[in-house]
Amino acid sequence: MAKFDMGAAWDDAMALVKAHLPLTSILAGIFLFLPGMALALLGPVPLTPPNDTTPDQLLTLLIADMRQQLPWLLFVAVASTLGSVAILRLWLARAGTSVGEALTFAILMIPTLIGIFVIQSILFGLAFLLLIIPMIYLIGRFAAVYPLLADRELKNPVAALHGSWRLTQGNGWRIALFVVLFMVVLLVVSAITGGITSVFGTQGSFGHLVGSAINSAVSAAFGLLNTAVIASIYRQLTIRAEGGVFA
């Protein structure tokens, strides 16, 4: 079995973004940028513990903060997932598709996406209990799930997960390393950007608006790149398995 080529996958991801930017920028703006802006401008202010907080008080504060943030975080997660699936449909549909058709496709896939989320959550949770290494491996084996359902119009979540598992056979660790390296870069750049923009002003100020726009733009850019990365993984594996489907 041919080994997964990280360099080729990255080059293909960049080519995908550049070739389809006019169309994908619309979906990225709506589903990746605007939800982040809504969270920053309309969401609850994070709770800040005082200096003399005890461990028990800190835990209570963290739980309270998570409760108020959770609905907004779920909203952002759902929006970004729908946007990513719509973008994947634009990139991978074999007969071609429009932005409206791609968006409709993503919405109709919501039941399938919920099923995938539930199954993956259980599997990743079990893997986490077995220490983090199995969880990293699962990242590699399930990397092709969303591109697979976008390309093949799979309605069965189990079929999508099984298809990704089959497609990534023999390359799980290589793909996991590729995805994890990308995530590390994402976290570092996001942390640096957030640190810089945090001094722009408090919530409600013009500086906070500017900082939120910058943070949301960076997040949207990485969201688009992440979608391109998993699309390139799928394209490479599918071409090798089936002989030039996307060539």
Question: What pLDDT was estimated at residue 1?
Answer: 59
**pLDDT (tens digit per residue) in 98-115:** 888 999 999 999 999 999
The average confidence (pLDDT) of the chain is 88
**pLDDT (tens digit per residue) in 23-72:** 888 899 999 999 999 988 888 887 777 777 778 778 888 888 888 888 99
DSSP tag of 213: H
Nearest to 161 by CA among 143, 136, 175: 143
Residue 247: pLDDT band with limits 50, 70, 90:
very low
**pLDDT (tens digit per residue) in 67-97:** 888 899 899 999 999 999 999 999 988 777 8
In whole angstroms, what separates CA 242 from the centre of its chain?
Answer: 26
Query: How far apart (Å, rounded) are the C-alpha atoms in residues 84 and 238?
Result: 19
pLDDT(117) > 80: yes
Nearest to 22 by CA among 198, 239, 246, 224: 224
Which two structure tokens, joined as six digits, stand for 120?
């993956």
- What average pLDDT does the segment 215-225 reach? 93
pLDDT(245) > 70: no
Cβ proximity of 166 and 154 under 8 Å: no
DSSP tag of 243: T
